[in-house]
Amino acid sequence: MFNAAIIKKFIILLVIVGSATLLAGLLSNTNNITLRLAQEIVPIKKIKKKPLTALVPNLPRKNLPILTPPKEVKAFYITASSALTPSSINHIINVIENSDVNAAVVNVKESNGITLTPRIAKLVQRLRDKNIYPIARIVLFQDNELAQERPEFALKDEEGNLWGKDSYRFIDPSNKKVWDYNIAVANKALDIGFAEINFDYVRFPDGYVDDIVYPFYKYDRLKKDVINEAVEYINGKIKENHPEAIISLDIFAYAFLRTHDVGIGQKLTDLADHYDVIAPMIYPSHYGPGNFGFENPAEHPYQVALQTLQYGINQLKAVNKEVIIRPWIQDFDMGAVYDKEKIQQQIKAIEDAGLKSGWMVWNPSNFYIQNEFDFSEENQ
């Protein structure tokens, strides 16, 4: 008689292996069991994950004329949702055509994933046909979708869970595979006709970061050095494929106010070496009480914008560096109601700071009002 426990174990193995031969060996000759097992158990191959670059849509490259940016780029920000909704994009284009605006910053990779589609490619052609300068916005290291799909690249907390809120996941900025992934997105955006790549979230996370566990970054280098290495590599590879491309960087306004890294890897005088355009996000609502002596800086857009820009300009002059500065301005209600007057105060601050390369308008709802951006004499 066979021991019942032994038989039970081998029947379980039989189910796993799926072999009638194993059962025959068990019933006919117990001495054959080990031999049969050795013959029948096939090692399970580890499934190899596709490279991150395989996640980028394979849209065909278009042979389009090289675009020269306007002397002053005046752009609206457009989400992928607005870009793909006919009523929304038609309204935005109508406002652009009947105002001083001449460019569009379109999301092609948001924090929730890549939004490059054939419909976006058609939109780029439409913008070109209307002489609207097309800029592709890519959110770099904040990537909720990639964190969920490929958590081995994501920041974790001390318990091994994804760090941050569901809408605020970060990928390790030091990983070269992540760099290559975003390079592939940028190259594809340029392939379909975008003239400029605008990178956002080129940084380490801010906020409470003491519990972060990085999968690759080991604190063996300064954060600013990691970011500098990343952007030098990313921008260099993009220029290899598209030497005509303009590459711009969204940067914290505080990087204009401080001569050192503000804890996220952004140091203005370093980053100026790697970009064609620096775009400080000078939203007055994002300054705290007491900044520049104002209890509520959002109520003082001209002074806040002007002083921020002057600090940054002086930083660059002190180290003899030049780069185009094209600020983001606020067009949303936070801290104050942002009407035409407050928008124009920011634009006047940019001009009074001596900057002549334009501006970009951040309105997360994408509801733009023509009257606010028509600066003709009859509309004053």
Domains (ranges, CATH) in the chain?
4-40 (no CATH), 52-379 (3.20.20.80)
Q: Are 173 and 204 in contact (CB under 8 A)?
A: yes
Banded pLDDT at 167 (limits 50, 70, 90): confident
Q: Phi, psi (5° rounding) for residue 165?
A: -75, 165
Residue 7 has pLDDT above 70, yes or no: no
Q: How far is CA 2 from the centre of its chain?
A: 64
| Predicted confidence (pLDDT) per residue in 33-48, tens digit | 443 434 455 555 556 7
Residue 266 has pLDDT above 90, yes or no: yes
What is the token pair recorded at 380? 């004053």
What is the token pair recorded at 287? 């300054």
Q: What does pLDDT average to over the chain?
A: 90
Q: Report the share of the chain in percent with pLDDT over 70.
A: 87
Tabulate helix, strand, coil % of the chain (nearest 5). Answer: 45, 15, 40
List the Cα angle 338/89/56 in 5-degree steps. Answer: 110
* Site of tokens 């780069």: 323
pLDDT for 378: 64
| Predicted confidence (pLDDT) per residue in 188-221, tens digit | 999 999 999 999 999 999 999 999 999 999 999 9
Residue-by-residue DSSP string for 253-321: THHHH-SS--SSS--HHHHTTT-SEEEEE--GGGSPTTGGG-SSGGG-HHHHHHHHHHHHHHHHHHTT-
| Predicted confidence (pLDDT) per residue in 290-344, tens digit | 999 999 999 999 999 999 999 999 999 999 999 999 999 999 999 999 999 999 9
What is the model's pTM?
Answer: 0.87
| Predicted confidence (pLDDT) per residue in 103-155, tens digit | 999 999 999 999 999 999 999 999 999 999 999 999 999 999 999 999 999 99
